[in-house]
Structure 1
Amino acid sequence: MSDFFIGVSLYAKDGREDELRASLIAVVAPSRQDEGCLRYELFADQADPRRFIFLEHWASAEAQHRHHTQTEHIRHFEKDGGASAVEKYEYVYTLNRIA
């Protein structure tokens, strides 16, 4: 296995920033408990309250894939939670640490 890093930027629909913020915060604690999670942090853009950024560090790409496709907290976010408040995913980067 090799470490897997990912950066994700989500942009809230106009007027739904607080709703998306709350929904994203709700997935942080359970995500940190997911098998293979080494780091799971949520940030808000200081210049734009509609933009939220996740920085994630996983033990492997497989662990991140399981988190994203098989966990109840992510399923809830996508089906009943805050996904409807997302206007767009601005980027999803998979990263390699070089230093």
Structure 2
Amino acid sequence: MSELHIVVGLQAKAGKEDELRRDLAGLVEPSRGEDGNIRYDLFEDRDEPGHFVFVETWASAEARALHHEQGPHIQHFHANGVANVEKTEFARILKRVV
């Protein structure tokens, strides 16, 4: 198996920063408990509140796919919380260099 490293940046809609922060924070613990999760951290830009970054490490691409396709907390977010996202600023799948 090859670990999968991912970073995703999201910008909240104006006036929806608190709601998005709450919704994103609610994804962290359930995601950390999923099979194949190694790291699942949420950050917010110190200088630009409302700009969030997920840093994720999964044991495999398959584990991450199950997370997105079957995780009830992720499905709930996509059905509800995503309405507070203005845009995805970036989404990168990374490979370790060193």
**TM-score range for the pair, normalised by the shorter chain length:** over 0.9
Alignment of 1:14-29 (within 5 A): 14-29=14-29
Where do 4+ consecutive residues of structure 1 move more than 4 Å? none
| Secondary structure at the counterpart of residue 48 of structure 2 | coil
Amino acid at match of 1:48: E
**Structure 1: how far apart are the matches of 2:96 and 2:46?**
25
Q: Give the total of aligned pairs.
A: 98
Tell me the C-alpha RMSD between the 2 structures: 0.7
SS of the residue corresponding to residue 57 of structure 1 reads: strand
Deviation at 1:85, TM superposition (A): 0.2
Q: Alpha-carbon deviation of 1:13?
A: 0.1
% same residue:
49
TM-score by length of 2: 0.97
Measure, in 1, the Cα distance between the counterparts of 2:22 and 2:32: 17
Asked if residue 32 in structure 1 is aligned to residue 24 in structure 2, the reply is: no
Residue 88 of structure 1 aligns to which amino acid in structure 2?
K
Q: How far, CA to CA, are the matches of 1:13 and 1:76 in structure 2?
A: 19
SS of the residue aligned with 1:47? Answer: coil
Q: How does the TM-score come out when normalised to structure 1?
A: 0.96
Long gaps (5+) in structure 1:
none
Deviation of residue 50 (structure 1)? 1.4
Q: CA deviation at 1:62?
A: 1.1
Tell me, which stretches of 5 or more residues in structure 2 are unaligned? none
